[in-house]
Amino acid sequence: MKKFDYLKPTTLDEVLSLLDQYGKKAALIAGGTDIVVMIKQKTMSPDVLISLQGIPGIDQIQYDGTLRIGPMVTHRAIEKSEMIRKEFSALSDAVDVLGSIQIRNVATIGGNICSAAPSADAVVPLLALGAHLKIRGPKSERRISIDQFFTGPGETVLAEGEILTEIEIPKPLVNTGSAYWKHQRRQALDLPILGVSVLLSLSKASVTCSDLLCTTSPISVVLHSLEEDELECKEIRIALGVAAPVPMRAKKAESLLRGKKISDELLEAVALTAAEEAQPRDSIRGEAWYRRDMIKVLVKRMAMKCMERVLRPEETVFPVRLW
Amino acid sequence: MKRTISFTLNGDPVQVEIEPHLTLLQLLRDKLELTGTKEGCSMGECGACTVLLDGKTINSCIFPAMEIEGKSVTTIEGLADAQGSLHPIQKAFIDYGAIQCGFCTPGMVLSAKAFLDENPKPTEEEIRNGIAGNLCRCTGYIQIVQAIKAASGQ
């Protein structure tokens, strides 16, 4: 492996001044589960690694109406947060299935965001949850929506010398459910063929026949019965991973449902529109046509999973049953 | 540009001078000659290099040695007690034939330990999830799952 120096600053200011001093010769390292592999594969060759492990205060999860996650929080810490599992379920779904326990103990959410892989599991639910990112540079601080952050595979709006300092997630509306599905070949340690996350806020949290949601009836039958309850969609966000060069929101699809009564036909149309909006590519993990087809299926199922989580909160948060 | 790091290794304090680009696996195997920890894929995927850092499993092959400063590392060499009797998980692996070629075993045993410390009475599904980061090419996992179940007293 290429030789490099390893620096361990203890404040953010020190990090910024080291970045300024070394410029392109330096790379930041959080957990290192991407960076060390890239150095071994010779796809990057920094002279200096600047570790973020010693910076106090950026590895905390705080909830003060807004959920604030420090960039150095590990996937495992998020996985173990019951509050996140309950209130921000989609994020739990994603960190549960990223890598292995060994990876999740080390890999950080900030690293997952800044590596900017089109397949990044944790990023897709963050888009659906409407996250904002706080970024600090040498002179100023800025705050941007996460859907403005990615510019290409492995590329972000971070300028040289800038660093991600916080992930902010707004408190969801009442009666909100969210879900993420990693479509993969293996049950663990795989990259997704597709990542689909939906957040859905409903006008009420009870329906006449809530038992319908645990039947084995086809979705359309269940939805048809729910139509009599006049469930209205207050808010919807759809996020897709590996469906475009960067993790994307399917905003046209969202606008079809926002403010409308939820019905089988409408969800069908929403999922179809999301599939049309996506720009998937052929790759070794899946072909574009297949990915589009699965977006159509999974967007609808994730919307149903959101409804299930709102209408039957006690029983359905945990199991990752697809339908 | 060597640097000195201090940490606890299998219960004993250690101070060692290292080149800053070393991975924890290189430090353990090449410098400290603890070859119980294996190098498989060396990309963080197979789990053969699993060790415990402050009780949590990590892939030592992609973990910078510089980050263990002040922390506690447990390798397979540290699992038996002072008299040399094997840890109950190690015994169970032998009893159930959960070892064939043995290459994945150190990592598998340490994953099982970290996992049982957290969840002493796991279901079979939880066990399978707990060792999902460790590849075994011999056993088909059946005996390993049985051994971990037995080690948990079930």
Count CB-CB contacts under 10 A for residue A1: 13
On whether the CB atoms of residues B60 and B24 are closer than 8 A, the answer is yes
The pLDDT of residue B51: 98
Total count of domains within chain A: 3
Closest CA to A79 of A103, A55, A58, A63: A103
Q: Which residue has the tokens 């949850």?
A: A129
The pLDDT of residue A225: 73
A155, A170, A185 - which closes a domain: A170
Average pLDDT of the segment spanning A172-189: 92
A143, A170, A197 - which closes a domain: A170
Q: Do both A34 and A74 map to the same domain?
A: no
| Contact residues, chain B, for A101 at CB < 8 Å | 57, 111, 114-115, 130, 132-133
pLDDT at A321 over 60: no
Asked if residue B104 belongs to a domain, the reply is: yes
CATH assignment of the domain containing A300: 3.30.390.50
User: Chain B: nearest CA to A7, how far in angstroms?
Assistant: 9
Express as a percent the part of chain A with pLDDT over 70: 92
Closest residue of A to B52, CA-based?
A: A102
Give residue-wise pLDDT tens across range B5-54.
999 999 999 999 999 999 999 999 999 999 999 999 999 999 999 999 99
The pLDDT of residue B74: 98
Q: Do both A164 and A181 map to the same domain?
A: no
Instruction: At A98, list the tokens.
Output: 């990223």
| Contact residues, chain B, for A9 at CB < 8 Å | none
Categorize the per-residue pLDDT at A248 as very low, low, confident or very high, splitting at 50, 70 and 90. very high
The pLDDT of residue A219: 58
* Partner A contacted by B67 (CB < 8 A): yes
> What are the beta bridge partners of residue A133?
A144, A167
The pLDDT of residue A320: 47
CATH assignment of the domain containing A26: 3.30.43.10
Give residue-wise pLDDT tens across range A86-127.
999 999 999 999 999 999 999 999 999 999 999 999 999 999
Asked if residue B83 belongs to a domain, the reply is: no
A74/B53 Cα distance (integer angstroms): 14
B45/B106 Cα distance (integer angstroms): 15
The pLDDT of residue A311: 81
Average pLDDT of the segment spanning A261-284: 94
The pLDDT of residue A216: 60
| Contact residues, chain A, for B134 at CB < 8 Å | 100
Q: Do both A223 and A289 map to the same domain?
A: yes
Nearest neighbour of B66 by CB, restricted to A1, A6, A100: A6
Nearest neighbour of A1 by CB, restricted to B1, B21, B57: B21
Q: Do both B12 and B74 map to the same domain?
A: yes
For chain A, the average pLDDT equals 92
Categorize the per-residue pLDDT at A223 as very low, low, confident or very high, splitting at 50, 70 and 90. confident
Asked if residue A323 belongs to a domain, the reply is: no
A205/A143 Cα distance (integer angstroms): 33
Total count of domains within chain B: 2
| Contact residues, chain B, for A188 at CB < 8 Å | 129, 132-133
DSSP secondary structure letters along A1-13:
----EEE--SSHH
B40, B57, B78 - which closes a domain: B78
The pLDDT of residue A208: 67
Q: Do both B42 and B99 map to the same domain?
A: no
Q: Do both A95 and A9 map to the same domain?
A: no
Count Cβ–Cβ pairs < 8 Å, chain A vs chain B.
Answer: 82
On whether the CB atoms of residues A223 and A323 are closer than 8 A, the answer is no
pLDDT at A207 over 80: no
Q: Do both A230 and A201 map to the same domain?
A: yes
Q: Do both A181 and A312 map to the same domain?
A: yes
Task: Write the CA distances from A160 to A245, B60, B138, integer angstroms.
Answer: 22, 30, 48
CATH assignment of the domain containing B131: 1.10.150.120
Q: Do both A166 and A180 map to the same domain?
A: no
> Which residue range forms the structural domain that includes residue B8?
3-78
Asked if residue A190 belongs to a domain, the reply is: yes
pLDDT at A214 over 70: no
A239/A248 Cα distance (integer angstroms): 6
pLDDT at A228 over 80: no
Q: Do both A25 and A73 map to the same domain?
A: no
A142/A53 Cα distance (integer angstroms): 23
**Any idea which of A45-54, A227-236, B11-20 has the lowest mean pLDDT?**
A227-236
Q: Do both B67 and B129 map to the same domain?
A: no
> Which residue range forms the structural domain that includes residue A283?
176-316
Asked if residue A248 belongs to a domain, the reply is: yes
pLDDT at A318 over 50: no
B44, B78, B112 - which closes a domain: B78
pLDDT at A316 over 90: no
Give residue-wise pLDDT tens across range B67-122.
999 999 999 999 999 898 999 999 999 999 999 999 999 999 999 999 999 999 99
pLDDT at B1 over 90: no
The pLDDT of residue B58: 98
β pairing state of A233-241 and A194-202: antiparallel
Contacts of residue B53, Cβ cutoff 8 Å, sequence gap at least 6: A105, B63, B68, B71, B72, B73
pLDDT at A240 over 80: yes
* Partner B contacted by A45 (CB < 8 A): no
Q: Do both B8 and B68 map to the same domain?
A: yes
Average pLDDT of the segment spanning A258-279: 95
Q: Which residue has the tokens 């570790």?
A: A51
SS3 category, B12:
strand
Nearest neighbour of A3 by CB, restricted to B19, B114, B134: B19
Nearest neighbour of B64 by CB, restricted to A6, A41, A76: A6
Q: Do both B55 and B114 map to the same domain?
A: no
pLDDT at A323 over 70: no
On whether the CB atoms of residues B116 and B89 are closer than 8 A, the answer is yes
Asked if residue B116 belongs to a domain, the reply is: yes
Q: Do both B53 and B13 map to the same domain?
A: yes
The pLDDT of residue A49: 98
| Helix, strand, coil % over all residues of chain A, rounded to 5 | 40, 25, 40
Categorize the per-residue pLDDT at A211 as very low, low, confident or very high, splitting at 50, 70 and 90. low
Q: Do both B66 and B25 map to the same domain?
A: yes
Give residue-wise pLDDT tens across range A136-160.
999 899 999 999 999 999 999 999 9
Categorize the per-residue pLDDT at A215 as very low, low, confident or very high, splitting at 50, 70 and 90. low
A75/B58 Cα distance (integer angstroms): 13
* Partner B contacted by A76 (CB < 8 A): yes
The pLDDT of residue A183: 94
SS3 category, B146:
helix
A170, A189, A222 - which closes a domain: A170
B78, B110, B141 - which closes a domain: B78
